[in-house]
A and B are shown apart, each in its own frame.
Chain A
Amino acid sequence: MQRRLVPGWVGLILLFISAAALSVAVGPGGFTGTNLSAVMHLRLLRLALGIIAGGVLAVVGASLQGLLQNPLADPFTMGVASGAALGASLTLVLGRSAGALAPVGGFAGALTTMLVVYGLARVRGRVTVTGLVLAGVIMSFLFSSLVMLAMILGRRTLGEAVYMMMGHLGVVYTGTSLWLFAGVAVLCVAGCAWLFSMSRSLDIMSSGEEAAETLGVDTQRVTKTVFVISSVLVGAVVSFTGAISFVGLVVPHLARMLFGPEHRRVLPGSFVAGAGILLLSDVLARNIVPGGLPLSIVTALVGVPFFIYLLRSRL
């Protein structure tokens, strides 16, 4: 494993740099003298959002897979993403011209979901990882249905709902939401650093909760902290981008292939790979079809074959 470390990092950083360059260089509305700075402004914001979203989804996915001892966990297992989508839809439906407030509604929805899932998973004062998964999955189903219901009752087009459920980086920024985004970016970096500081505990948790406790890990504290940080970060990201799938599921596996299972390498590796892959997916989503595609369509088209390859090569 040790010897793959350096080539692994070189590969990831090359991937990231070329994705970032493509993301800025390619797109509809080419560069002309008059609109150059406007286009650059939009594309740089898109780049920043892509890095944050891809990085956070991948890091949260890796942390949750470690915490839940389940390689199929992803940032949306805990139900937060659909809660955010519901919050954002309700803001759109109820607020008439409240497009700029959708991220606030989304974040509120994410936090509410987090509290509900936490409450459901808490039995006799203990929060178990199984409880979190079950409560999260159930809430996901409920909230996804409620998004559709809100959209239909609110006479919104299903197109809007699709973008909310399947993700995009084409956020329209106003003055306020630009500040919101800056806050989210700071929050996300701090949250990822916090998760990184728990790397060893996550490693140990992957041999089971009881064994981890006998090794001196406060599994209740780790479970609660990872759950809360993950929910807040995913809620913050999803309220801007909608639910982008597959990045949080597949990228951690790629990082483990490159660096082995230790979280102190998997988490930073996931951040860089997640950002790079999301940016590349966005370039594709924007350019293969006129008018663009929801991001999850592209991440699924790229992610599923990779996941199948992984599954087959490990069996």
Chain B
Amino acid sequence: MKAIELSSLGFGYDEALVFDGFKLDVGAGEFLGVIGPNGAGKSTLLRLVAGLLRPARGSIRILERDLRSLGRKEVARAVGVVLQENPFAFDYSVSDVVMMGRNPYLGRFQSPGKYDREAVDSALEFVDALFLRDKRINSISAGERQRVVLARALAQEPKVLMLDEATSHLDIAHQQLIARILSELNRQGRTIVLLSHDLNLAALYCSRILLLDRGKAVACDVPERVITAELIRSVYGVDPIVTRHPESGRPQVMLPRDATGPQPVSD
């Protein structure tokens, strides 16, 4: 079973195409990392799969069904998304925010029921944030807020979970906590797609990594074959030191102190 299937995908914001003839298969139960420089098309890819953007050409299939044939609520039941920025214009309680994740299951005039409230509590418990349930969303810390938004996505009970830079402005403890939660979800059978600038985090937790550069898949393979000095240099334009993680053997990237290599490739 395939979770996500993109074939001959074409998309552009203006005249120039970001993706042209793009192809990608993500198997059910995979933990895919998507890395690449700014402007590589990571967020665009996520928005296409989540149905936020419409492709100009090609097809997108989610859980073996054509995205175009799915209603918005059906997509939201299949795919949960955690975006990088989560501003709240008004100060909802944490449990209200997570309850928003039940929207795809509720009719217009239907109030949340017992099952919905249980789903909210268990989602909050899963991200270790049940103690926040009566707090206000704008009064908790960034790390707590990111867990709450993750819980909201979990309340959607999606088969596929996609995260856009979900850990980028969190401290290392919160990064580790989020990564562990994602690993646990993956062990339970969910498909995870993690967009990240954090190469080391991606290498440590993902089963496969897609390296994007200007809308092209430069590589898509196990971390050992993607996080290599040659590929990182050719895509990011830095001269990295690649070592092994002492515990897991996964590749880890470090930067030399004095840059001697080529300058960053412009977007």
Contact = CB atoms under 8 A, between A and B. Distances in A.
Interface of A: 1, 65-66, 69-71, 197, 200, 203-204, 206-208, 210-211, 213-218, 256, 260-262
15 contacts: A65-B89, A69-B87, A71-B89, A203-B92, A204-B100, A206-B88, A207-B89, A207-B100, A208-B83, A208-B86, A210-B83, A211-B81, A211-B86, A213-B52, A215-B101
B50 interface: yes
Given A207-B87, A210-B52, A215 B103 contact: yes
A203 B72 contact: no
A217 B72 CA distance: 7
A262 B72 contact: no
Given A213-B52, A215-B100, A70 B89 contact: yes
Given A204-B103, A211-B83, A69 B89 contact: yes
Contacts of B86: 207-208, 211
B96 interface: yes
Most buried by A among B47, B80, B90: B90
A216 B91 contact: no
Contacts of A69: 87, 89
B45 to A, nearest CB: 14
A71 B75 CA distance: 31
A262 B85 CA distance: 21
A90 B87 CA distance: 44
B83 A214 contact: yes
A66 B90 CA distance: 8
Q: Which 8 A-B pairs have the closest CB atoms?
A: A216-B76, A261-B90, A216-B104, A69-B89, A216-B73, A214-B81, A206-B89, A204-B100
B99 to A, nearest CB: 9
Contact of A213 (B51, B87, B106, B156): B51
Contacts of A200: 100, 103, 106, 108
Contacts of A70: 89
B92 A261 contact: yes
Given A215-B76, A215-B100, A216-B75, A206 B50 contact: no
Interface string B19-38: 00000000000000000000
Contact of A207 (B50, B75, B88, B108): B88
B72 A218 contact: yes
A70 B156 CA distance: 27
Contacts of B89: 65-66, 69-71, 206-207
A72 B76 CA distance: 31
B147 interface: no
Interface string B85-121: 1111111110011001101101011000000000000
Given A206-B89, A206-B90, A216 B52 contact: no
Contacts of A208: 83, 85-87
Contact of A214 (B76, B87, B97): B76
B190 interface: no
A206 B100 CA distance: 11
